Structure 1
Amino acid sequence: MKKISIILFTTLFFISCKNKIEKPNIVFVFADQWRAESLGYAGNPDVKTPNIDQLASEGVYFTNAISTEPVCTPYRAMLLTGQYPLKTGMFMNDILLDPTSESFAKLFKKQGYNTAYIGKWHLDGNGRSAFIPKERRQGFDYWKVLECSHTYNNSTYWGNDDELHSWEGYDAEAQTKDAITYIEEQSKSKKPFSLVLSWGPPHAPYQTAPKEFQDLYTNVDIKLRPNVPEEFTKKAKKTLKGYYAHCSALDSYIKQLQDAIKRCNIEENTIFVFTSDHGDMIYSHGETKKQRIYNESAKVPFIIKYPALFGTNGKKSDFLLNSLDILPTMLGMSGLNIPANLDGEDITDVLLGKKEDTRKASLVTCIQPFGQWSRARGGKEFRGVITKKYTYAKDLSGDWLLFDNVSDPYQLKNLKGDPAFESIIKNLEETLTEELKRMDDEFLTGSSYVEKWEHSIDSTGTVPYKW
C-alpha cells in the first residue's frame, strides 16, 4: 500500500510539473502605426518584408484584424485589460490606466508566468518622459520602458533599477536585442514567460530608419493606392519611402527574434504574435495619421505562430478579429482562466475549426476626437462596424459612411443615400446597435464622456501632457 501511494504521488507530481512546464511562452510584438496593406504577403509590391512574409507562411494570418479604437492609448488599454474604452475611461491619448486594473501581466503572473515589457508604454498619462513607479506598471516585472517618444535614435527608457538609460542607436534594434537576451535567459527557467515588445516605428518621423533600410527605397518608384489624390502624390511617395524603411528594419528584427526562439529550442511551445495598434492614412483620401474607420487606419496586420497548436503550415483567416479579442485569446491558448468581465472572445476554437465563426462585424469607434484628428482638423465622434463585405459608420447626426469593400476595396464611393443600399444600411445599423448595447455605449458626445471621467482637455480636445 505504501509503495502504491509513493508511485501515485510520484506520478501526480510528474504530471503537475509537466503541465506547469508546458504552459506556452508568449512573445507579443507590436509596432506603432503599421497598416495592414503595407506587407509583402498582403500584396504590397513595394515594401520589403521577407521575414514577416515567412512568419505568415508558418502561422495564422488575419485579413480582417481591426483596431477597435485606432489610436495609441485606447488600443494599449484594450490590449492589457480586454475592456472597451468606455469601461476604463481610456478613450484618448495621455491618460492614466487605473493601476488597480486586472490586466495582462497580472493575469499571467497569477498563473505562474514571468512577465516583461520593453519599449513604448503610453498608458501612464503623467508626462511622456516621466518615471513610472512599480505600482503603475500593471504587473510587469522586467521593465525597460518609456511612456512615449518618437525619437528613435538614442532614445531613453526607465529600467528595473528606476534609472534613466539610453538605447544605443536605432531603438527598435536595441530593444529587440534586449528582448532576445530576456528570451535566452527565460528559456533556461522552468517557469513560462510572457514578453511584450512594443516598437515605436513605423510611426512618424518617417525618415529616421537606419541608412541601410532607407537605401532600399532610394530609387524605387512607389506605387500609390488609388485613393491618394493626385495633389498629394509627391508627399505620399516621400512619406512611404521612409515608412517602408522603418517596416523593413522591423522586419529584419522579426527574423532575429524567430532565430533566437529556435536557437533556445522553445519554438514549438511559444505563442509568437506580430501586430500593430492601428494603421496610418498616409494621404489616402487626402488624410494623414489615424483615428478613422478607413481601412488604412483601422485594419492592422495580425499573425499568430504557435506550432504546438497550429503546426507550421500557414493558414489564412478572415475572422473579424478586434482589439478586445487579444487578451482572452492569449489566455485561452495558454490554457489559463479567462475573467468573465472581458469584452472580447477567446477565438482559439474558431481558429481550430472546433467552433463556427458567427461573428457579424467588428466594432470601430471614435469616442472623443483629439490631437491629430481634432475637431479643427475634421475630427468627430463616430461608431461603426466592419464586416467581411462592408464598412458602415454613423456620426452624431446619423448615417455617415457605407463602403462595399469587395467591389470597392479602396473605398472610393460612399454609398450612403443610395436607395439600392437602404436595406443593407438598415441591417448594418441594427448590427451596430447590438454591439453598442453589448458595450453599454449610448453614443453620446465626446465631451459628456470627458466630463464623466473627469479628464482635463485643452482647446483641441486633447489631454495636455508634458514632453
Structure 2
Amino acid sequence: MYKILFKTVFVLTVFMLFSCDKKKKETVSIKKQPNVLIVLTDQLRTQATGYAGDPNVKTPNIDRLEAMSANFQNAVSGMPVCTPFKASLLTGQRPLTNGVFMNDVQLDTNAVSMGKVYAHEGYRTGFIGKWHIDGRGRESFIPPGNRRQGFQFWMANECTHNYNKSVYYDNDDPTPKKWEGYDTFEQTDAAIEFINSKNENPFLLVLSWGTPHAPYGSAPKKYKDMFKAEDMILRPNVPKAMHKQVKKDIAGYYAHIAAIDDMIGKLINSLKENNQLDNTIIVFTSDHGDLLGSHGAYKKQQPYEESIRTPMLFYIPESLGIKPGVRNAVFNSEDIFPTLLGLSGMAIPKSVEGINYRNYLEGKDNSVGKETIITCVQPFGQWNRPKRHGKEYRGLVTQKYTYVKDLNGPWLLFDNDADPYQMNNLINNKEYKEIQADLEKRLTKRLKANGDEFLPGSHYLEKWGIKVNDEGTVPYRHLY
C-alpha cells in the first residue's frame, strides 16, 4: 500500500510542477508561510448573523471575527448547493468546468485540488467533518488516496444530517466510528487537537460542520432554550400563511448558529493561547444560505438573496499588511482557492478559474469584483421540477443588482439597495429598461467567455453521464 501511495504522490508532484504558472510564484520561505484554517458551515445565510443585523440571534464571536477580518459583504455561492460549492472551493473552478453541478456526484479524483497543492508545498493537510464530494454513498468509507483530494489527516464522513453521535471515519481505519456528542462540538475539539499537534510545517485544515442545515431542532437543549418560536421576527418576504412553521424552524436554526458561534470563539481563543493566530489565515464561510420561508420556499438553489448570499470573512495576519474591514467586491465560490494561494505566496495552477483577490485586498486592483455569475444547471431535491417548479437559470450579480434569466428569457431583476428583501421584480419595468438591457448584455458576454451555452439540464446530464431519478435527483449510491 505504501509503495502505491508513494508512487501516487510522486506522479502528483511531477504533475503539479508542470501545471502551475511559475510567473505567479512568490518566493516565500516555508517557515514563513501562514497556516490556513477554513471553517465551513452548511446552509448559513449571511443575514443570520449579528454583524449583518439579524434581530433574533446574537453571534458575539462571529462578530469579533468579522471585526478582525476582511468582510466580503457581497459574497455569493455561484451554484448554491453543497457538492457544487465544495467542488469549486477545492478546485477554483466553475461547476460546468469540473462537472459537479448536483449533489452526490464525485469530483474527478485527478483534479488539481486545494489539498494536493498545499500538500505539495509542504503543508500538512487535514479535513474534519462533512465531505460530500465523493458520490459513492453517504456513509461509505473513503480510503486514503486521490478520493481524498490531497488531504492527509482525515476525520470525516461523506454526508449526514444527524448531528448527534453521527458516523465518521478516522484516517486509515475503515471501521465506522461515532462522534461522542453534538458533531459541531466534537469536530471542533478534533480540529484544535490537529492544530496544536507539534509539527514544524504549516497546516491547511478544513473544518466542515453540517450545521445549521436542517433538521433545525437537533441542537443541544442549552441552545434551543435560547430561542422561542413565538418571539422570532421574520423577514417581510415570508408569506403570512407560513409564519407559524417558519418561526418554529427558524428558532431551531438559530440554536445551531448560537452553538457555532461558541465554537468560533473556542477556535480563536485556542489559536491565541498557542501563539498561532498571528500566523494563521482564517476563512469563515458557508456553502449557501437557507430561504427559510422567504419567497415561500425553504433551503437553497433558488437565486434569491437568502439562498445565494454567504458569509465570507478572511482573517489575515497583520504581517501580510492587509487591513480588516468591509469589502464591496462581489466574491464567488471559485475565488476562495486562488485568493488563499495568493495570500500564501504560492503559485496558482492554470486549471483555476477564480480570481486571486490579494491585490484587491491590498488596495492595488479595484478592477475586479464588479459582477459574478450564479447558476442552476439542473434543479433537483427541494426545488425539483414536478413538485417545486424548479428550473434552469443563469444570473448576473453586481454590487447593486441581481439579474436572472431562465430558458424562456428574462425572469428576475432586483435593485438590492432599494429592495433588500427582493419583493419588487423589475423585469420589463420601463424605468429599468436600459439597466435590464445592460445587465443582459453583460451576462451574455460572461456566459460566452465561460463557454456556457445555457442549454437544458438534460444536455449536461448526458454530457457528464449523470443518472437521475424521476425528481431529477441523483440517487444516494452505495459503492464500497
Cα distance in 1, alignment partners of residues 362 and 457 from structure 2? 40
Q: Deviations over 1:289-322 (max 9, x none)?
A: 1001100000001111112356796401111000
Give the one of 385, 389, 400 matched to 1:389: 400
Quick check: 1:82 aligned with 2:92?
yes
Q: Provide the residue aligned with 2:426 in structure 1.
A: 415
Cα distance in structure 1, aligned partners of 2:322 and 2:139: 41
Counterpart check, 1:129 vs 2:142:
no
Give the whole-Å Cα distance in 2 for the aligned partners of 1:245 and 1:92. 28
**Aligned-partner residue type, residue 393 of structure 1:** V
Q: 1:171 aligns with which of 172, 183, 187?
A: 183
Shift of 1:189: 1.7
Offset at 1:259? Answer: 0.9
Q: Which whole-Å CA distance do the structure 1 matches of 2:40 and 2:439 have between them? A: 31
2:97 is paired with a residue whose SS is helix
Give runs of aligned pairs for residues 38-437 of structure 1, distance below 5 A: 38-135=48-145, 136-162=147-173, 163-185=175-197, 188-218=198-228, 221-309=231-319, 314-376=324-386, 377-437=388-448
3-state secondary structure, aligned to 1:134: coil
Q: Distance in 2 between matches of 1:169 and 1:288?
A: 27
- Contact persistence 1:155–1:167 (CA under 8 A): yes
Would the aligned equivalents of 2:322 and 2:361 in 1 still touch at CA under 8 Å? no
Letter in 2 for 1:128: R
Question: Which residue is equivalent to 2:16?
Answer: none
Matched, 1:453 2:449: no
- 3-state SS of the aligned residue for 1:66? coil
Q: Distance in 2 between matches of 1:321 and 1:41?
A: 18
Q: AA paired with 1:398?
A: G
How many residues get paired?
A: 450
> Residues 431, 212 of structure 1: CA spacing in aligned structure 2 closer, same or farther, 3 A cutoff?
same
Shift of 1:220: 6.3
For the aligned residues, what is the CA RMSD? 1.6
8 Å CA contact 1:310, 1:352 repeated in 2: no
Shift of 1:219: 7.1
- Alpha-carbon contact 1:59-1:314 (below 8 Å) kept: yes
CA deviations 1:71-103 (Å, max 9, x no partner) are: 010000000011111111100000111111110
Separation of aligned partners in 2, 1:219 and 1:55: 28
Partner secondary structure for residue 231 of structure 2: coil
Partner residue of 1:8? Answer: none
Distance in 2, Cα, partners of 1:352 & 1:247: 31
**Separation (CA, whole Å) in 1 of partners of 2:402 and 2:164:** 38
Q: Do the aligned partners of 1:361 and 1:431 also contact (CA within 8 Å) in 2?
A: no
Tell me the distance in 1 between the aligned counterparts of 2:300 and 2:446: 22
The amino acid that maps onto 2:428 is: G
Partner Cα separation in structure 2 for residue 151 and residue 74 of structure 1:
21
Letter of the 2:337 counterpart = L
Secondary structure in 2 matching 1:40: coil
Tell me, in whole angstroms, the C-alpha distance in 2 between the residues paired with 1:307 and 1:457.
Answer: 45
After superposition, the Cα gap between the structure-2 partners of 1:286 and 1:107, relative to the gap in structure 1 and judged at 3 Å, is same
Post-superposition offset of 1:464? 0.9
Task: Name the aligned partner's letter for residue 164 of structure 1.
Answer: P
Structure 1 Cα separation of the partners of residues 71 and 221 of structure 2: 30
Q: What is the rounded CA distance, in whole Å, between the counterparts of 1:246 and 1:298 in structure 2?
A: 20
Contact 2:118 2:125 in 1 (8 A): yes
Work out whether residues 322 and 362 of structure 2, in 8 Å CA contact, stay in contact via their aligned partners in 1: no
Q: Name stretches of at least 5 consecutive residues in structure 2 with no aligned partner.
A: 1-26
What amino acid is aligned across from residue 327 of structure 1 in structure 2?
A: F
Question: Please, what TM-score do these two structures have when normalized by structure 2?
Answer: 0.91
Listed one character per residue, the Cα deviations across residues 379-432 of structure 1 (whole Å, up to 9, x for unaligned) are: 100000111111100000000000111111100010112122111111111111
Give the percent of matched residue pairs that are identical in Structure 1 and Structure 2. 50
In the TM superposition, what whole-angstrom CA distance separates every residue of 1:13-65 from its partner, at most 9, and x where no partner exists? xxxx9821110000000100000100000011211211000111111112101
Alpha-carbon distance between aligned partners in 2 of 1:105 and 1:226, rounded to the nearest angstrom? 42
Shift of 1:341: 2.3
Cα distance in 2 for partners of 1:453, 1:309 equals 44
The secondary structure found in structure 1 opposite 2:226 is helix
Task: Flag the 1:91–1:48 CA change in 2: closer, same or farther, 3 A.
Answer: same
What CA distance in whole angstroms lies between the structure 1 residues aligned with 2:324 and 2:234? Answer: 28
Task: Tell me the TM-score normalized by structure 1.
Answer: 0.94
- Residue range with higher mean Cα deviation, 451-460 or 160-169: 160-169
Other structure's SS at 2:462 match? helix
Change (3 A) 1:456 1:18: closer
| 1:441 alignment counterpart | 452
Letter in 2 for 1:458: N
